[in-house]
Structure 1
């Protein structure tokens, strides 16, 4: 049986690989995507996510999320991912649009409609998830678990100690970690062990 998931993302080159994995993994059922400001602005992460869904011919609803962190000024990683967030890659034009509700409400609505609890996967800053948990606490029983790409058991990547997704909105991360929901953390130290081989690259290209 396929595992239903919602994916919160800030693409980003690395997130593009994760989105492809979520779309094509036979054991996953990607039902909703949401975007958040992180690697680049939320307008750019939304555009990138829609372009990627079109590129892979995936009919998955997408909602645009938080443009700024809960408290502090935004930061980005354009120096790593380029101004566009996708290193300037030119995608085919399309006419896809995001849903007309903000991300945390789209997640709430989808959770409340789901016949079973859903796994949330957050691979950007945790702003949308914090908004969901703080504004819609009735959703908690409908969340199976939260899987995050955030933090590190070793060194950071934006300071010697801090990983970008957590550092981009630490107040949101604190809200999420205090929520009581089950959390599976895949930190920077885990992602640094992932190797994109030529075989896997060719599989994505096909």
Structure 2
């Protein structure tokens, strides 16, 4: 069905900020597939959380399970921010049943039926599912209009001093996506720090409707960050959705990006050359600045349009 909205695949690991990103995407895009990996919490929880968000939003979107671990190594959860259940203890009604299948297969099947450069992919998790899909059928990259990835940092990380969580969890998968034949937008910690949820921002979000109430409860459960002197916390994943649906509120720069896939302390670090200091091609569109008031106004509007 033609909706006039951007067709999209959302790959996620809910996770508090993933849940808000899913609400934003479901309200603002033609989401055709939600794929889920283990990440912020193990796969059984991320899958249940994704189903719950999709169900609460009332959207008939298939939710498909994917990788429960990175291409190499083991899964490691981030419960200090997201809680053991991934949603900070907020209980949502159970969502629709999981759609049978495997995420990488579902991504490939959707793209095979898509027109060239017609579907946006949004990577909000360790990017294992998308990397597996494109590595096993590289020609399908030509069906994607782009991939918006929340990962990495040009400054310090939030999982190790060197690395952001999604990049650190599966640097091999991120390296594969960055080399794919598809336009890449990278949304890093340095950008998402500009989307700061403070008590005032939270108080201004809508209060009516099941999705708005759930979003407020989830955001209210996230502890303030030491990185921001406990003034609030960065809303990471919705920025990667916003970069697709409202790019005019961002400032971008082309950059060369490489990922450290070694075994040392810098594993998962994104080496980002924004100033042409290396010989590597500046093929990645970096989101550098964000109009935060417009961003939060867009999020509020999206929540108001959901049930």
CA deviation map 1:16-54 (0-9, x unaligned): 1111111112xx211111001110111111000001111
2:204 corresponds to 1:199: yes
Aligned to 2:6: 3
User: For structure 1, which runs of at least 5 residues remain unmatched after alignment?
Assistant: none
Distance in 2 (alpha carbons) for counterparts of 1:18 and 1:129: 18
1:168 Cα shift? 0.5
Distance in 2 (alpha carbons) for counterparts of 1:155 and 1:200: 30
CA deviation map 1:166-203 (0-9, x unaligned): 00011111111122321100111111211442323537
**Superposition pairs of residues 136-151 of structure 1, within 5 angstroms:** 136-151=137-152
- What is the TM-score when the length of structure 1 is the normalising length? 0.92
User: For structure 2, which runs of at least 5 residues remain unmatched after alignment?
Assistant: 214-303
CA deviation map 1:145-165 (0-9, x unaligned): 110000112221011120000
1:89 Cα shift? 1.4
1:93 Cα shift? 3.6
2:15 corresponds to 1:12: yes
Given that residues 64 and 102 in structure 2 are in contact (C-alpha distance below 8 angstroms), is that contact kept between their aligned partners in structure 1?
yes
Number of equivalent positions:
203
Aligned to 1:108: 108
- Cα RMSD between the aligned structures? 1.5
**3-state SS in 1 of match to 2:207:** helix
2:36 corresponds to 1:35: yes
Aligned to 2:27: 24
Deviates more, 1:127-136 or 1:108-117: 108-117
2:119 corresponds to 1:118: yes
2:54 corresponds to 1:53: yes
Distance in 2 (alpha carbons) for counterparts of 1:202 and 1:15: 20
**3-state SS in 2 of match to 1:185:** strand
**3-state SS in 2 of match to 1:46:** helix
**3-state SS in 2 of match to 1:72:** coil
Distance in 2 (alpha carbons) for counterparts of 1:109 and 1:180: 18
1:56 Cα shift? 1.8
CA deviation map 1:111-165 (0-9, x unaligned): 1112452110001101001101111223111111110000112221011120000
**Deviating 4+ runs (over 4 angstroms):** none
Aligned to 2:154: 153
**3-state SS in 2 of match to 1:174:** helix
**3-state SS in 2 of match to 1:202:** coil
Distance in 1 (alpha carbons) for counterparts of 2:68 and 2:110: 21
